[in-house]
Amino acid sequence: MIIRYNKIKNRIEEKNEIDRLRDFQFWYMQITNNETNIERLKDFWLKEIAKSKLETADKGKLNDLREE
């Protein structure tokens, strides 16, 4: 009876550990994807600033604001 209890307890602990690892993997992917999206957005706006009809000084100010 005790052996069976310990086996069940161990399986529950293993399942909880697997669930924690899956949660970690999920959040890792979310963070990684968000970082990629931020980089894409930054690149997009850099291109838009460069293509704009703003004066060079204004473009520099926008780039400085972006870096902050």
Write the CB contacts of 66 (distance below 8 Å, at least 6 apart in sequence): 42, 45, 46, 49
- pLDDT at site 68: 56
Query: Tell me, what's the pLDDT at 21?
Result: 84
pLDDT in tens, 13-34: 888 888 888 888 888 888 888 8
Q: How many domains does the chain have?
A: 1
Domain holding 38, by residue range, is 2-67
Q: What's the pTM?
A: 0.45
What whole-number distance in Å separates Cα of residue 27 and Cα of residue 19?
12
- Checking if the pLDDT of 57 tops 80, the result is no
